[in-house]
Amino acid sequence: MSLKIVILDGYCLNHGDLSWESFKEMGEVIIYERTPYHQIKERMGDASIMITNKCTIDKNIIDQLPNLKYVGVLATGYNNVDIPYAHQKGITVTNIPAYSTESVVQTVFGLITELYSGIGYHNASVKQGDWVRCKDFCYYRTGMHELYGKTIGIVGAGRIGLRVKDVAKAYGMEVLLYSKSKHAKEDGFRYASSLVDLYERADIISLNCPLDDKNANMIDAVALSHFKKSAIIINTARGGLIDEEALADALNQERIAGAGLDVLSNEPARDDNPLLTAKNVVITPHVAWATVEARARLMAIASNNLKEFLNGNPINCV
């Protein structure tokens, strides 16, 4: 009897531009684009291998799947899986570390560039005929600024935060980085003494830290009150880091200059999210991780995780 591998929600990883062949080499593979919670038990059946991105795998689901031996999460985050209960039941859970760093950093600076240069804004203006009707050889309808010499405050000193630092230095920016464990001056940049210190000094604040119980809504009205009026905030980490009502108010009242967001507190976005109609905010639909190169790395790591598990040498366990 061949190994049965069920991929519950493969669409976000693979729109058809990648191959599941590396999984198919290990057994029978059943692929679903999306699986609602109430269909997980039926679709898993007697399979022992589950591959999922965002399906909720809680105690109730685990108890309904007595054959389940392995959950491969197609992401770095794994808060959708009840890890302690999975461990209690002898189920191995793996994740995908460090596959999207370069793609996320690219999106950080894409959002910054749009807010500082208005490339998309001006492109849309040209396409609707404004340049054709213009009396001059050029026009600019939004304030454009240089990154050179600006101070970027980076919250989080992990892989992504440190790569944001590297790219910022290439732009000629001053770097101020906040870490819970590091405070000394380093070559070419400084660690902020506190978050308030970072907020008050930075022209651009980039959130590149995990979300936990201690930093949920860390960007609230009090934090925003320390921002420069000319500051922008970039969030490619987790939507829950920001109090969205407070940020929308600050944008609409022009207490800060702008925001670039790839994540929101509820995803997909809810139509009543105040940031969808706020002033000077650029929002992308959680795609910083999703370049074809990053997704190909994710696919390769995910299949290797399963291969090593089947060989009795599980890696990237959580």
Q: Known catalytic residues?
A: 238, 267, 286
Non-local (6+) Cβ contacts of 244 within 8 A are: 264, 265, 273, 274, 275
What is the residue whose two structure tokens read 């060989």?
Answer: 311
CB atoms within 10 A of CB 194: 10
Paired tokens of 4: 């049965």
For every residue of the chain, which 3-state class applies, written as one string? CCCEEEECCCCCCCCCCCCCHHHHCCCEEEECCCCCHHHHHHHHCCCCEEEECCCCECHHHHHCCCCCCEEEECCCCCCCECHHHHHHCCCEEECCCCCCHHHHHHHHHHHHHHHHHCHHHHHHHHHCCCCCCCCCCCCCCCCCCCCCCCEEEEECCCHHHHHHHHHHHHCCCEEEEECCCCCCCECCEEECCCHHHHHHHCCEEEECCCCCCCCCCCECHHHHCCCCCCCEEEECCCHHHECHHHHHHHHHCCCCCEEEECCCCCCCCCCCCHHHHCCCEEECCCCCCCCHHHHHHHHHHHHHHHHHHHCCCCCCEC
Q: Contact, 218 vs 237, CB < 8 A?
A: no
